[in-house]
Structure formats: C-alpha cells, structure tokens
Structure 1
C-alpha cells in the first residue's frame, strides 16, 4: 500500500488534477515575472521574510544543519497540510501554487534585470534540489485539488449510491496517506540536497 510503485499509480490516477496544478504553478511564474503594483509588493514581502530567516540561519552555530531542519520541516508540513486543506474546494492548493510559482518567476526576472548570472541562480541555486522539491509540491497540491473536486462532487452529486461514495472516499483517503508519506520522503531528500550541495555551490 505504501510502496513507491503504488504512489506512482496514485499520481497517474489524478492526471487532470496534476495537469491543473502544473498549469497553476506555471501561471504563477508568469504572474511573478510580470508582477507590478500590489502583486510586486506581496512578492517583495515574501522575499524579505525569507531573507530574514536565511540570515538568521546563517548566523547559527551550524548553518547547514539549521538550513536542513528549517527547509525540511517547513516544506514537509506545508506539503502534507496542503493536501487536506484542499477539502475547502481546492482553493488553498491553487493559491499555494500561484504564490510559489510567482515567487520563483519574480526572482528570475529580477535577477535578469539586475544583470545577475542566471546559470548560478538556476543551475546551482534552484536545479539541484528543485528538480525534486518542485514536482513534490506540485503533486501535493494536485492531491489537494483532487480532494476539493471530490468534496464538491459529494456536495452536488446526490444521485450516487451511498455505499459507492464510501468506497470511493476510502480509496482516496488511502491515496492521500500514501502520497503524504512519499511527499515527505521526497522533500527530505530535497532538503538534504539544498542544505548541502546547493548550500556549498552558492557559498
């Protein structure tokens, strides 16, 4: 039930939600790229908060360990919680994807405007851990979106038999359990990479 193969099959079973999650993340990136006005202020606030946390972690006795603990706990808790917050008709996973995509889009665009080295930013600063972290977050949000769709379906499709709905919900909750475990594992790997390889490349 908790094997990686089962996890992959579960992800394949929510293709539409996964596609929608990917589109929302890309849309967020585009919004961040062209962000102006209120959107730009929001993104700057997000980045200032991250910068302050980063500076505090760098000043700790063991920066790499501090980065690892913060990154892993922050991402894994959000990754799991966002699945179940999707029960609120999928609104929060959608916002989460848009905001995270927007932050990345804004950072890349700002770096270009400032003449910074994009190779360092993307290949050294984002790719090593992002190749695992970003898909894991998108998958988590996809399950959240699927959760929202199922809640909406239960509310508005009253013609389905009760026993059928119960079996369907039981199967989906098993999927969310499997997904939660593997998303945490993937984010653990990403946190190790980010706090070691990425940290060293950008130091």
Structure 2
C-alpha cells in the first residue's frame, strides 16, 4: 500500500494512462472549438455547480464547507471511475471527455469575455489542479485498464483466459492501492482548493 508501490503499479497501466491523457486533452479541445455548440450542455453542469458554490459561500464557514464538498465529490467520483471502468471503460472515458470539455469551454469563454487567461489558469486552476487533474486521470486510467481486462476475459480464448485469471488478484490489489492514494491526493488538492485557490479567486 506504499506510495512507491502505487508508482510502480502505474507502470503496468502506462498505455491506459496515455489514453486517459489523450481523452482529457481531446475533451479540452472539443470544449474550446465547440464552445457555442456545447454551450447549452456545459452550462447546465456549470449552473448546478454555481448554485452549490453560492450555498457554500453563504455557510457559516465557507472554507470548511468548500473543503468537505470538494473532497467528498472528487474522492467518491475518483474511486467510482476505477470500478465503473469494469463496464468496458465507457464511463471513465466519458468522464475524461466531459471534464476536459468543461475546462476547455471555461478557458475559451473567459478569453472571449476579455478575462486574463494567465491569471485564471495560475490562480484558479494550477494551485489545486496540479494534483487534482493527474489524480483523476490516474483513476480513470485504472478504470480504462479494468475495462480492457474485462473485455479480454470475455473475448479471448480459454487458454489465454486461464493465464489472465491469474492476473486478476494482482490487479484488484492495484485498484485498492490506487483508491487509497487517489483519495489522499484528492484530500491534499481539496485543502489547496478550499484555501489557496479560494483566497486567490475571492
């Protein structure tokens, strides 16, 4: 369960990690170039977050309220992406595309409105995003790898299935280790987002 073991496990899913990064970047590009087309869909998501943000700001302790919401929201989703990946990796893939699109949309719409993009990224995204985004990408990569293993188990020959069967206990141990460290990383990111990012944006 050590961090070194977690890093070692990442090497075994390096292809899924690469695919996760590409999906996230693709989502960002789609959000940027399809700002008008995707506006209605993405605004629905952002309006929901805006309402939650407003309620949290009006609480007796906004920073604590933001921390609890951000940590629980991200950590639950992060762990879910690992295990929902068993459904052929579809949900983690969509999650990466949508989240990338939201960021691409926000940056593009901010530039259209004449806002300082450099400050937006440095103050609003980078402090916590440097930990949060890689953690989410890693979680989704494990989900994609999970989906790949399920697909292999269904469609490969019986001899290969027997060999693959011996790998499942190792992979399930990896998902447990990954879940623990992803939650820890998202805990750190939530602290930064609810304090440093919150103060900078305020």
TM-score by length of 2: 0.97
Superposition map of 1:1-203 within 5 A: 2-36=1-35, 39-160=38-159, 163-203=162-202
Structure 2: runs of 5 or more not aligned: none
How far, CA to CA, are the matches of 2:88 and 2:22 in structure 1?
A: 18
2:35–2:109 contact (8 Å) kept in structure 1: no
| Residues 56, 32 of structure 1: alpha-carbon distance in 2 compared, 3 angstrom cutoff | same
SS for the counterpart of 1:115 is coil
Distance 2:36 2:108 in 1: 15
The Cα of 1:39 is off from its aligned counterpart by 2.2
Shift of 1:162: 5.4
Aligned residue pairs total 202
Give, in whole Å, the separation in 1 of the partners of 2:112 and 2:62: 30
Q: Distance in 1 between matches of 2:159 and 2:10?
A: 25
What secondary structure, in the 3-state scheme, does the structure 1 residue paired with 2:151 have?
helix
5+ long unaligned stretches in structure 1: none
Tell me if structure 1 keeps the 8 A contact 2:27–2:104: yes
Q: Distance in 1 between matches of 2:108 and 2:156?
A: 44
* Partner deviation per Cα, 1:12-55 (whole Å, 9 max, x = no partner): 11110000000000000001001255522111111111111111
Query: 2:114 aligns to what SS in structure 1?
Result: coil
- Structure 2 CA distance, aligned partners of 1:75 and 1:29? 19
TM-score (norm 1): 0.96
State the Cα RMSD in Å: 1.1
Contact kept, 8 Å, 2:27 with 2:99, in 1: the verdict is yes
